[in-house]
Amino acid sequence: MRSPYISEIEAQSSIIVVSFQTELSRFGDASLGDLTAGVNRRRERPRAFRAVTPMAENNSAAAAAAENLPEHVVGDWYSAPDLRLRDHRFSVPLDYSADRRNSSKISIFAREVVSVGKEEQPLPYLLYLQGGPGFECPRPTEASGWIQRACEEFRVVLMDQRGTGLSTSLTSSSMSQLKTAKDLADYIKYFRADNIVNDAEFIRIRLVPDAGSWTVLGQSYGGFCAATYLSFAQEGLKQVLLTGGIPPIGNECTADVVYRACFEQVKLQNEKYYKRYPQDIKIVQEVVNYLSEFEKGGVDLPSGGILTPKSLQVLGLSCLGSSAGFERLHYMFEIVWDPLIVPGAPKQISYNFLDAFEKSISFNTNPLYALLHEAIYCQGASSQWSANKIRAVYESEFDAIMAARERRPVLFTGEMIFPWMFDEIHALKKFKDTAHILAEKKDWPPLYNIKALNNNKVPVAAAVYYEDMYVNFKLAMETASQIAGIRLWITNEYMHSGLRDSGSQVFDYLMGMLKGKKPLF
């Protein structure tokens, strides 16, 4: 049955619906509210391309300070199975709004990837924008998935977004160079989508012949960045592909709206998980009861943090919303208890489980995600720990200790960052004050220009995952109605990880939409 809501969207954009098995009407008529036009900002075009300097064999350029690098350093071609790759490093301003001569510089790393034998062919360029925020691009080990498919017709550019990977990475250790919490907050404020797009434009003008336009593929948060690109720099775009990455675009802070919607989807994911693995209901209850009996509220983690009932629930972030996530979570709880080798020995959580927990949440290696997560929803307003505020509304359902004592299923949380994480997770403790400063920051610049999106001329195709836990379906559809000419593929065949799980099929379907191979319904 087709919902009137979908019919309304179809009147404004072309939509393809496949693999669709669940009625839309259960989402109701909740709205993002008034979507007023964003501020249209002019972008200063980067300076003309300077001479390219070959990269030294010993990779010493990577270790050099970005302040001393030329604008563009390019390496020699090297190989992975069925692929040829070469590295590019660009020295870009930290703050594009400042005088270029006085602005601090950071380094942006991008890896160019082609199929073997196509190094010199005049192929069009495709920029991949990774999900996150705060995660580096994939490192190709062979020709497979969407990269293999894209390399059939593109030069693929894998750009580590500023602050990640080899792009002046903001790691737990590197951020310690900034001496105060305020200094770090003032630095991190330049690492959102607006400046990621500025970096992309800086690179495009220096990399693409004649500063031509390129195709952009945005996965998850990378899709948010692509929407910012469409808002402020359409001249750089030939076409855009979005996979699970249509953002809410309302003014001020949309995080509250996002989390209200996401908590509902998270509850549904929990229901599905326990329906698949009903035996885990009792196991998780036992773990919560065990943790709550400790005077300090939990047990020590290998890195020095503490596992409490609340932090146990954070496993839902990586396990409830992606393909095979339910299985990963179940198999973790299979090893939660140490075996009793000595009769009468006390019961205890196994080291293997504690280690798997820390690896699952990724904060040790990617702390920028936790620091910037709510800020990606802010335009001219502060988040004020939005997820924590909205969780309070659902606390009767998400109180792990109460659920375990009442023998109800303990619900895991989703893609949400809470202030107590900066007390309990060792990798985040030193950034507690910075996190609070960022949560109170009000003067975030605009990320979207609704007028520009309404007048969009760039071909856009988007995969919208109906049961997406990370990017809410209904909110994505509301934004889609504001992007002129967008074509949507709505499916519940894939989860948020569709590009990773079935990349060649997803990529091929979206390209088919842009090339007119898929009919309009």
Beta carbons within 8 Å of 396's beta carbon, 6+ residues apart: 402
Question: What are the phi and psi torsion angles at 444 (to 5°)?
Answer: -70, 135
Using DSSP bridges, classify how beta strands 214-219 and 125-129 pair: parallel, antiparallel or unpaired.
parallel
Q: How far is CA 260 from CA 167, 393, 403, in A?
A: 34, 9, 21
Beta bridge partners of 406: none
The label of the residue with tokens 């496949």 reads 18
Beta bridge partners of 463: 243, 489
For residues 381 and 444, is the Cβ–Cβ distance under 8 A? yes
The label of the residue with tokens 């390209």 reads 511
What gap in Å lies between CA 229 and CA 234, rounded to an integer? Answer: 6
Q: Which residues have a catalytic role annotated?
A: 220, 443, 496
Long-range contacts, stretch 212-216, CB < 8 angstroms, 24+ apart:
212/125, 212/238, 213/237, 213/238, 214/124, 214/125, 214/126, 214/127, 214/157, 214/238, 215/124, 215/125, 215/126, 215/127, 215/154, 215/239, 215/240, 215/241, 216/126, 216/127, 216/128, 216/129, 216/240, 216/241
